[in-house]
Structure 1
Amino acid sequence: MSLGYKINKRIGKPIFIAFWALLLAVSLPLAATAAEEKASLADQIKIKLDGKDVKLTDSVKVKADRLYVPVTLLAKLFGAKVRWDAKNDEATVSSAHGDRIVLGDSVPVVYFNDERYLMEALPFQVDGKLYVPLREAVEMLHAKMAWEKKTQTVSLESVPLAVVTEEVDLTEISRQVDSSNRKLLARNGLTAEDAIKAGTKLRVVVPSILSNKAAPFTEKDLLLLAKITQVEAGQESYDSQLAVANVILNRVKDSRFPDTIRDVIYSGKQFPPAHNGLLDKSVPKADALRAAKDALNGKNNVEDAVYFFNPKVSKGEFWSSLTVIDTVGSHRFAK
């Protein structure tokens, strides 16, 4: 072995380490700078309501090029009331025009007048406050929003109810607001057979979510999913129970497994309680019911996982061959 080769071998590793250290030193400040610039951008955003500046007690959040604000701020601006359910991380908004809106932390489905719709973006919590996607929330509060990028200004416009008169009927109101009779009837819970007399007040802002109904589920589905969740993870955290519920729903969507909740639970050997009587005796507690409902409403903390197991109990070639997505509580969730 030549002296030159020995020297190169000795200095190669330090140079390699130094290179990666330099790369980290450069990339970490860049990432921090990007985050700071994003936060700074959010701090510069202004909101106007009906042409007047809104004093913000909390900064606007920017996430994936969407604007978010606390639901309590929007409710106050438009005369709505908010009831916060800390146990279920859920806000119920009663609007000034009689609409009822239920929003959950990281839950894509919103309950709007007791109907379920899928939002394009998820609400999320920061410092105990529920932030909601601004445009979708504004529409649900019967208002309009415009964004001016140059001045970083959000312009909100409150929209009054339209009133049917002898001269201005439903068809004319539909024309004025660039909508249709069918949409306005649906928005107001009316049908073509209902008599719309002079003096009738109509909501005319049709939220975009109304064109995106969530996939339905039955009370039997909810109860069965909650029961198996209780048996499998009832002694663990809500997050663990949510993960178990989602493994079942992930299987329903996967062509390798049955396509109903019941058939997934009762087929195969993954869920022994379905065959030994424990499932039939199961009485789901509040956390299991919440986890099942949230999972059915699209809140998924173990995307793509179709197996879960306790590594202290389940051992062998099959389990070790799986790709673990996450560990929640005592279970590993895998595909």
Structure 2
Amino acid sequence: MKLIQRLTRIATLALTLFLALGAGATFASANSTNSILYIADVKVDLNRSLWTVGGWTYAPVKELVEHMGWTLEYDGESGRTTIANDLGDVLAFKAGSSDVALNGRTYDIGGTVRLKDGVTYAPLRVVAESMHASVGWKDQEKVAVLQQEALYTVVAGDTLWRIAEAHDTTATALKVRNGLASEALAVGQQLKVVAPEFLDPDVSGQKATAAAAEAIDPVELTLLAKLVEAEAGSEPYEGKLAVASVVMNRLHNDRYPDTLRGVIYAPGQFSPAGNGSLERETPSKDSLKAAKSALSGENNVPGAYSFFNPQLEPAKAKRLKAIKKIGHHVFV
């Protein structure tokens, strides 16, 4: 019951932030949104706006770090950015990847770190909570509020579950956050109580699935389903999902346009979009299902940015290394 109540609170807050900060790529063509946020009680006007895409609110990493008083190192050779705070937390990530390393352990956050105009942007909540800062909301001004939180000191009668509930997290996440082997606590013990949701796979997975489904734009769903039907109408469902996954892989890669329509209608990419036949397609039930699954985060060909029929293009089949072959298509 507590988990359900927490997920309900998370969903409500996420929807509020989603609607107020901008609906992301789905509704706002991945444009910049608000440049204002509060750090504690101080109003900050960022030089670079927060950026919302795919339901995630991104912040310019270097500028955020400077305002919060954290430290940042960038390795130009590896492209790896590392952030640290005074509590000993260390967060590292690379643009183009959904993997982050927090205090030496690697996690998939479900949202890709991005580059925009040569600047690294990372999910605001992920960075803040990893650095033990809470993320709130000023309803009147419709802006986010970041607050660096102190450690919590355990008092008599405390349990990990009660502390987790009071700080809107879970006991599982707190155990991981503090490196605890059990739920036993000692009076006077200090705990980090701001825990990124990716530390609890159950909560993170359920929230990501629900948020992704909620954020799907019917117009984009139809467009992607039409492309799937045009390119893989006679293919099995897995082949349809793979075609949709290729489109999403491109959307999350900085080499391609940052809107779904931009990816699909990019010159010389998908022939049905180029020759005008795409608009006349009527997607099947399976094509709609595959498009919805891909838009919700399912991906059966990670790392694939293209596909082709090797019977029609045998030279390409010899030249390119396949990631997966499904039906009549090879995905590369």
Please give the TM-score of this superposition, normalised by the length of structure 1: 0.50
Question: 2:51 maps to what in 1?
Answer: 61
Question: 2:131 maps to what in 1?
Answer: 141
1:78 alignment partner, one of 68, 71, 76 = 68
Correspondence 1:86-105 to 2 at 5 A: 86-105=76-95
Q: 1:45–1:152: 8 Å Cα contact kept in structure 2? A: no
Match of 1:42, SS state, is coil
1:128 paired to 2:121: no
Change (3 A) 1:44 1:320: closer
- The residue type paired with residue 192 of structure 2 is R
1:206 alignment partner, one of 184, 195, 211 = 195
Q: 1:117–1:209: 8 Å Cα contact kept in structure 2? A: yes
Aligned counterparts of 1:140 and 1:305: Cα–Cα separation in 2: 37
2:99 alignment partner, one of 86, 91, 109 = 109
Change (3 A) 1:64 1:182: closer
TM-fit CA distance, 1:153: 1.3
Change (3 A) 1:63 1:40: closer
Question: 2:145 maps to what in 1?
Answer: 155
TM-fit CA distance, 1:170: 5.2
How much identity, in percent, do the aligned residues show? 21
Change (3 A) 1:149 1:321: farther
Aligned counterparts of 1:128 and 1:92: Cα–Cα separation in 2: 17
Q: 2:72–2:82: 8 Å Cα contact kept in structure 1? A: yes
- The residue type paired with residue 201 of structure 1 is Q
Aligned counterparts of 2:148 and 2:193: Cα–Cα separation in 1: 11
Correspondence 1:1-335 to 2 at 5 A: 42=32, 44-147=34-137, 151-165=141-155, 173-179=163-169, 181-192=171-182, 196-198=186-188, 200-212=189-201, 301-303=303-305, 318=311, 320=313, 331=320, 334-335=330-331
- The residue type paired with residue 88 of structure 2 is G
Aligned counterparts of 1:46 and 1:194: Cα–Cα separation in 2: 42
Change (3 A) 1:40 1:91: closer
Change (3 A) 1:212 1:86: farther
Q: 2:160–2:185: 8 Å Cα contact kept in structure 1? A: no
- RMSD over aligned Cα atoms: 4.0
TM-fit CA distance, 1:109: 0.9
Q: 1:60–1:69: 8 Å Cα contact kept in structure 2? A: yes
TM-fit CA distance, 1:185: 2.8
Q: Which deviations, in whole Å up to 9, do the C-alpha atoms of 1:99-120 show, x marking residues without a partner?
A: 1111111101111112121112
Match of 1:62, SS state, is strand
Aligned counterparts of 1:47 and 1:299: Cα–Cα separation in 2: 38
Match of 2:128, SS state, is helix
Match of 1:53, SS state, is strand
- The residue type paired with residue 141 of structure 1 is M
- The residue type paired with residue 212 of structure 1 is P
Greater C-alpha Rg: 1
Q: Which deviations, in whole Å up to 9, do the C-alpha atoms of 1:180-232 show, x marking residues without a partner?
A: 5554232101222876352x321001101112399xxxxxxxxxxxxxxxxxx
Q: 1:93–1:100: 8 Å Cα contact kept in structure 2? A: yes
Change (3 A) 1:209 1:40: closer
Match of 1:54, SS state, is strand
Q: Size of the alignment, in residue pairs?
A: 204
Match of 1:186, SS state, is helix
Change (3 A) 1:159 1:177: same
Match of 1:47, SS state, is strand
Q: Which deviations, in whole Å up to 9, do the C-alpha atoms of 1:46-98 show, x marking residues without a partner?
A: 10111220131222222224321121222223332111011111101112221
- The residue type paired with residue 110 of structure 1 is V
Q: 1:75–1:82: 8 Å Cα contact kept in structure 2? A: yes
5+ residue gaps, structure 2, are: 1-23, 205-241, 243-299, 323-329
